[in-house]
Chain A
Amino acid sequence: MTKDKTSVKTGVNVESSKYYTNRELSWIQFNERVLSEAEDEANPLLERVKFLSISASNLDEFFMVRVASLKDMINAGYKKPDIAGMTASKQLQAVLKKLHDFTENQYAVYNDRLLPLLEENGINICDIAELGGKELDFAERYFDEVVFPVLTPMAVDTSRPFPLIRNKTLNIGALLKKKEGNDDVDFATVQVPDVLPRLLHIPGSEENKYGKYIFLENLIMHNVDKLYLNYDVIASAPYRVERNADLSIDEDEAEDLLKEIEKQIKKRQWGQAIRLEVSTGMDEKLLKLIAEKLDVEDNEIFSVNGPLDLTFLMKLYKIEGFDHLKEHGYKPPSAVPAFIGEKNIFHVISKGDVLMHHPYQTFENVVKFVEEAAVDPGVLAIKQTLYRVSGNSPIIAALAKAADNGKQVTVLVELKARFDEENNIVWAKMLEKAGCHVIYGLVGLKTHCKITLVVRKEEDGIKRYVHLATGNYNDSTAKQYTDIGIFTCAPAFGEDATAVFNMLSGYSEPLGWNKLSLAPLWLKDRIIDLIRREKEHALKNEPARIVAKMNAICHKEVITELYLASCAGVKIDLIVRGICCLKTGIKDVSENITVRSIVGNFLEHSRIFCFENGGNREIYASSADWMPRNLERRVEILFPIENDELKKKVWHILDLELRDTEKAHIMNDKGEYVKPVISEDEEKINSQKILCDEAYEEARTFNDRNTRIFIPETNPNIKA
Chain B
Amino acid sequence: MTSEVFAAIDVGSYEMSLKIFELSMKNGVRELDHVRHRMDIGSETYATGRISSYHVDEMIRILSEYKKIMKEYGVTHYQAYGTSAIRETKDIAIVRDLIENRTGIHIDVLSNSEQRFIDYKSIALKYDQFEEIISKPTAIADIGGGSIQISLFEKDTLVVTQNLMTGVLRLHTTMEQVHASRLKYAELVTELINSRLSVFSKMHLKDKKVENLIIIDDYVSPVLQKVGLGTEREGYATSEEYRKFFKKAYKKSDLEVAKKLNIPEENVPLFHVAGVLVKCILDVTKAENLWAPGITLCDGIAYEYAEKKNYIKSPHDFEQDIIACAQNISKRYMGSRSRRETLQKIALTIFDSTKKLHGLKDRERLLLQIATILHDCGKYISLVYLGDCSYNIIMSTEIIGLSHVERAIVANVVRFNHEKFEYYSSDCRFFDGLSREDYLTIAKLTAIIRAANGLDRTHKQKFKDVTAQLQERELVINVDTTADITLEKGLFTNRAEFFEEVFGVKPVIRQKKMLL
Chain A residues close to B by CB (< 8 Å): 380-381, 408, 410, 437, 455, 457, 460-462, 498-499, 502, 505-512, 522, 525
Contacts and interface: CB of A to CB of B under 8 A. Distances in A.
Interface stretch (B68-76, B94-102, B323-331, B423-431): B68-76
Contact of B68 (A408, A460, A506): A408
Contact of A461 (B30, B33, B38, B68): B30
Interface stretch (B20-28, B156-164, B476-484): B20-28
* Majority DSSP secondary structure for residues of A touching B: mixed
Contacts of A507: 35-37
B73 A511 contact: no
Given A381-B72, A455-B73, A508 B37 contact: yes
Contacts of B26: 460
A437 B15 CA distance: 23
Given A502-B34, A509-B264, 16 more contacts: A381-B72, A457-B74, A461-B3, A461-B22, A461-B24, A462-B5, A462-B32, A498-B32, A502-B33, A502-B35, A508-B36, A508-B38, A508-B264, A510-B34, A511-B34, A511-B294
28 contacts: A380-B71, A380-B72, A381-B71, A408-B68, A408-B71, A408-B72, A410-B72, A437-B68, A457-B74, A460-B3, A461-B3, A461-B22, A461-B27, A461-B30, A462-B32, A462-B74, A505-B65, A507-B36, A507-B37, A508-B15, A508-B36, A508-B264, A510-B34, A511-B225, A511-B226, A512-B222, A512-B225, A512-B226
A499 B65 CA distance: 15
B74 A380 contact: yes
A509 B261 CA distance: 13
Contacts of A381: 71-73
B129 interface: no
B262 interface: yes
B286 interface: no
A100 to B, nearest CB: 46
Interface residues of B, number: 28
Contacts, number: 56
B460 to A, nearest CB: 60
Contacts of B30: 461
Interface string B35-52: 111100000000000000
A509 B222 CA distance: 13
A151 to B, nearest CB: 54
Contacts of B252: none
Interface string B64-85: 0100100111100000000000
Contacts of A506: 37
Contacts of A498: 32-33
B259 interface: yes
A48 B39 CA distance: 59
A410 B35 CA distance: 15
Contacts of A410: 72
The 8 closest A-B CB pairs, nearest first, are A381-B72, A508-B36, A408-B72, A511-B222, A507-B35, A461-B22, A380-B74, A502-B35
Given A380-B73, A380-B74, A462-B22, A525 B259 contact: yes
Nearest to B27: A461
Which of B15, B38, B68, B294 is most buried by chain A, counting CB atoms within 10 A of its CB?
Answer: B68
A310 B384 CA distance: 106
Given A507-B36, A525-B259, A462 B73 contact: yes
Nearest to A437: B68
Nearest to B65: A505
Interface string B7-27: 000000001000000101011
Nearest to A459: B2
Which of A462, A498, A525 is most buried by chain B, counting CB atoms within 10 A of its CB?
Answer: A462
A510 B27 CA distance: 23
Contacts of A408: 68, 71-72
A462 B271 CA distance: 34
Nearest to B263: A511
Interface in B272-321: 294
A522 B492 CA distance: 76
Nearest to B38: A508
A525 B225 CA distance: 21
Which of B35, B36, B264 is most buried by chain A, counting CB atoms within 10 A of its CB?
Answer: B35
A431 B74 CA distance: 22
Nearest to A511: B222
Contacts of A522: 262
A475 B302 CA distance: 43
Contacts of B65: 505
A498 B15 CA distance: 19
A572 B43 CA distance: 53
Contacts of B22: 461-462
Contacts of A462: 5, 22, 32, 73-74
Which of B30, B33, B222 is most buried by chain A, counting CB atoms within 10 A of its CB?
Answer: B33
B36 to A, nearest CB: 4
A455 B27 contact: no
Contacts of B72: 380-381, 408, 410, 455
B294 to A, nearest CB: 8
Nearest to A508: B36
Contacts of B33: 498, 502
Contacts of B27: 461
A408 B262 CA distance: 31
Contacts of A455: 72-73
A507 B22 CA distance: 21
A380 B70 CA distance: 10
Which of B26, B72, B74 is most buried by chain A, counting CB atoms within 10 A of its CB?
Answer: B72
A523 B73 CA distance: 29
A512 B72 CA distance: 22
B40 to A, nearest CB: 13
Contacts of A505: 65
A520 to B, nearest CB: 13
Contacts of B259: 525
Which of A381, A455, A508, A522 is most buried by chain B, counting CB atoms within 10 A of its CB?
Answer: A508
Interface string B370-385: 0000000000000000
A412 B37 CA distance: 19
A462 B33 CA distance: 11
Contacts of B3: 460-461
Nearest to B221: A511
A512 B262 contact: yes
A522 B3 CA distance: 36
A498 B72 CA distance: 11
Nearest to A506: B37
Contacts of B71: 380-381, 408
A522 B36 CA distance: 19
A63 B225 CA distance: 51
A460 to B, nearest CB: 7
B419 to A, nearest CB: 52
Nearest to B223: A511
A502 B17 CA distance: 12
A510 B74 CA distance: 22
A144 B30 CA distance: 75
Contacts of A510: 34
Nearest to B34: A510
A81 to B, nearest CB: 26
Contacts of B68: 408, 437
A522 B34 CA distance: 20
A100 B466 CA distance: 109
B229 to A, nearest CB: 16
Which of B26, B36, B226, B294 is most buried by chain A, counting CB atoms within 10 A of its CB?
Answer: B36
A505 B226 CA distance: 25
A502 B71 CA distance: 15
A460 B34 CA distance: 21
A422 B54 CA distance: 33
Contacts of A508: 15, 36-38, 264
A192 B22 CA distance: 64
Contacts of B35: 502, 507
Contacts of B34: 499, 502, 510-511
Nearest to A509: B264
